[in-house]
Structure 1
Amino acid sequence: MSTMRRAGAAAMLSAALIFSLSACGGDGEKSDSSGMSSPAPGPDGGDKDSAAPEAAPSTPSEPIATVKGDKGLEMSVFSARRDDGGFLTVDGQFKNTSSVGFTVPVNWNGMEQAVASTGNSLAAMTLVDSKGKKRYYVLRDTDNRPLTTYAYGNLIKAGDTLAFFAQFPAPPADTTELALQFPGFPSTTIELS
């Protein structure tokens, strides 16, 4: 059992590292375990409760879907691609288009007690296949950590972005689009690649 946990943790760490390296862009920023890049902390250790400005995700520059949510927050999805292992990975970003900071709501974490120890996450994100009558939830590793961006700050400052990813079970091969649902945003249709 402990071997499986170590293997699962190693797989998650590898995925987070790959995502972190691709999101960094080599501009002198360091990357944390959540897949977010952040400036190196100053002498005071940096601001833990605010999301750092993000470089654009390493995905196509044109989003496949953009929706406006609560209080000036905008969510753009850049890709929804199938992976060889039977997963579907959604990449995107949140952008605070307002002139005030956006406090990240607790309901982004989902309702499951099992993922509460992860802290801030996107575990509440779901994909819906209305044709196949199925709902897909963010995958979890063997320690119940969601396979999504997590441990980010509680605040997205005005004008800042927060890049994200989320992994789901892949739907059947003949499914070409799904509805993405996330608290605070209207449902939006995304095409799979």
Structure 2
Amino acid sequence: MVLTINSAARDAGGFLTVNGQLKNNGKEPFVGTAAWRGNELTQSGESVAGATLVDKVAKKRYYVLRDTDGRCLCTTGISSVGAGQVVPVFVQFPAPPTNSTEVEFSLPTFATATIKISG
């Protein structure tokens, strides 16, 4: 599995939306998606709710936002990724302060990546 981050953009509502894609470069369907949901937002079902951001400047960790029913503001319904399949994903977080221009993005089972914030 390969995770590619395409953008991390602030919006006027005070959110930071991270957009990317998951790609299965293997020859078999990938079904190990349960770890991606994390432990906190289990009512979101199979999702990428386990993602976090770390802002080293502000020394803060940000978790995925949730709606009034406790479900993540992120891609849900990922139970498997077929061989060669690409799945677009998004995750919304509270936006770090405007002086923070880079954050570390983590999704369970993938290496942490430093990403630049636009907007």
TM-score band by shorter chain is: over 0.9
Question: Between Structure 1 and Structure 2, which shows a larger proportion of strand residues?
Answer: 2
Match of 2:61 in 1: 135
Match for residue 26 of structure 2 among 90, 98, 118:
98
Is residue 160 of structure 1 aligned with residue 85 of structure 2? yes
After TM superposition, which residue ranges in structure 1, 4 or more long, deviate above 3 angstroms?
A: none
Q: TM-score scaled by structure 2? A: 0.94
Which SS does the other structure have where 1:117 is aligned?
Answer: helix
Whole-Å separation in 2 of the counterparts to 1:85 and 1:182 = 24
Question: Between Structure 1 and Structure 2, which shows a larger proportion of helix residues?
Answer: 1
| Cα deviation 1:43-85 (Å, max 9, x = unaligned) | xxxxxxxxxxxxxxxxxxxxxxxxxxxxxx0000110000000
- Counterpart amino acid of residue 183 in structure 1: P
Which protein shows a greater Rg? 1
Number of aligned pairs? Answer: 118
Is residue 172 of structure 1 aligned with residue 97 of structure 2? yes
Aligned residue runs from structure 1 range 1-193, under 5 A:
73-112=1-40, 115-152=41-78, 154-193=79-118
Unaligned runs of 5+ in 2: none
Give the number of the structure with larger relative contact order, counting CA–CA contacts within 8 Å between residues 6 or more apart: 2
Which SS does the other structure have where 1:190 is aligned?
Answer: strand
- Counterpart amino acid of residue 102 in structure 1: F
Per the TM alignment, residue 182 of structure 1 is displaced from its structure 2 partner at its CA by 0.9
| Cα deviation 1:7-59 (Å, max 9, x = unaligned) | xxxxxxxxxxxxxxxxxxxxxxxxxxxxxxxxxxxxxxxxxxxxxxxxxxxxx
Q: Is the 8 A contact 1:104 1:156 kept in 2?
A: no
Whole-Å separation in 2 of the counterparts to 1:136 and 1:172 = 12
Q: Is the 8 A contact 2:54 2:60 kept in 1?
A: yes
- Counterpart amino acid of residue 112 in structure 2: S
Q: Root-mean-square deviation (CA), in Å?
A: 1.0
